[in-house]
Amino acid sequence: MAFELPALPYGQSGLEPVMSEKTMGFHYGKHHQAYVNNLNSLIEGTRFANASLNDIVMESEGGIFNNAAQVWNHTFFFESVTPGGRGEPGEELARAIDRNFGSFEKFRDEFGKAGTTLFGSGWVWLVKNATGMLDIIQESNAGNPLRKGLTPVLTLDVWEHAYYLDYQNRRPDYIKAFWTIVDWQKVGNRYLQV
């Protein structure tokens, strides 16, 4: 069964002015769609033809991995944000952030720094390890923390296609704006899930 591009939980102009409608049109409508299409054609006739997306992300290499992980990452990213942002980290996540990073501000600074210093294309992740500890990691290109046994909680796309039409070389401005659209309700719920 072929994978399909998941519907966006908001309109393509919903994240303005943080991410413009034009950016979303390409990012979701072209890039995300292309990863889905490429994945479907690459897995045809392979042992991944009927596998779940998670299994493909965990077990594949090369072009299949790149496209599968990019489908996964973009879906997770677009579900991490919402027009105007929502709520605050719930009690449990807020406590974990304080415990692991000192304060919410320190967490935000560290996550933002990971975003600005990631060289080339990639993703910044807030992840939970097996003992419930939080960490911030950088992944190049299509990298996905599931491969390291970590549970993703929040992610930020720092491929240039995510922000170049709106911010050009000013990646730090994009990251600063990102915080205003994070769906903390969603992110907090992810943290609570095992």
Partner 1 sequence: MSFKLPSLKYEYNALEPHIDARTMEIHHTKHHAAYTNNLNAAIENSDMAGMSIEKIMAGISKYPVAVRNNGGGFYNHNLFWEIMSPDGGGKPAGELLDAINSSFGSFGAFSDEFSRAAATRFGSGWAWLVRTDNGLVVSSTPNQDNPLMDIADVKGTPILGIDVWEHAYYLNYQNRRPDYIEAFWNVVDWNAVSEKFHG
Buried b / exposed e across 57-68, counting CB within 10 Å, b at 16+? bbebeeebbbbb
Handedness of CA 45, 47, 52, 58 (dihedral sign): negative
Range 7-26, binding partner 1 (CB under 8 A): 26
Range 48-67, binding partner 1 (CB under 8 A): 63, 66
**Binding partner 1 by CB under 8 A: which of 5, 8, 58, 165?**
165
Minimum distance of partner 1 from residue 10's CB (angstroms): 21
Minimum distance of partner 1 from residue 78's CB (angstroms): 16
Distances (CA, A) of 80 to 1, 39, 59, 182, 185: 26, 23, 25, 6, 9
Q: Is 125 in the site for partner 1 (CB under 8 A)?
A: no
How many residues at the interface with partner 1, by CB under 8 A?
Answer: 20
Please report the DSSP string for 2-71 in residue order.
---PPPPSS-TTTTTTTS-HHHHHHIIIIIIHHHHHHHHHHHTTSTTTT--HHHHHHH--HHHHHHHHHH
Q: Is 41 in the site for partner 1 (CB under 8 A)?
A: no
**Binding partner 1 by CB under 8 A: which of 68, 142, 156, 187?**
142
Minimum distance of partner 1 from residue 122's CB (angstroms): 7
Q: Is 122 in the site for partner 1 (CB under 8 A)?
A: yes
H helix or E strand, kind and range, residue 166: helix 164-167
Q: Is 159 in the site for partner 1 (CB under 8 A)?
A: yes
d(CA 180, CA 105): 14
Q: Is 161 in the site for partner 1 (CB under 8 A)?
A: yes
Minimum distance of partner 1 from residue 65's CB (angstroms): 10
Q: Which residues bind partner 1 (CB under 8 A)?
A: 26, 30-31, 34, 63, 66, 119-122, 140-142, 159-161, 164-165, 168-169
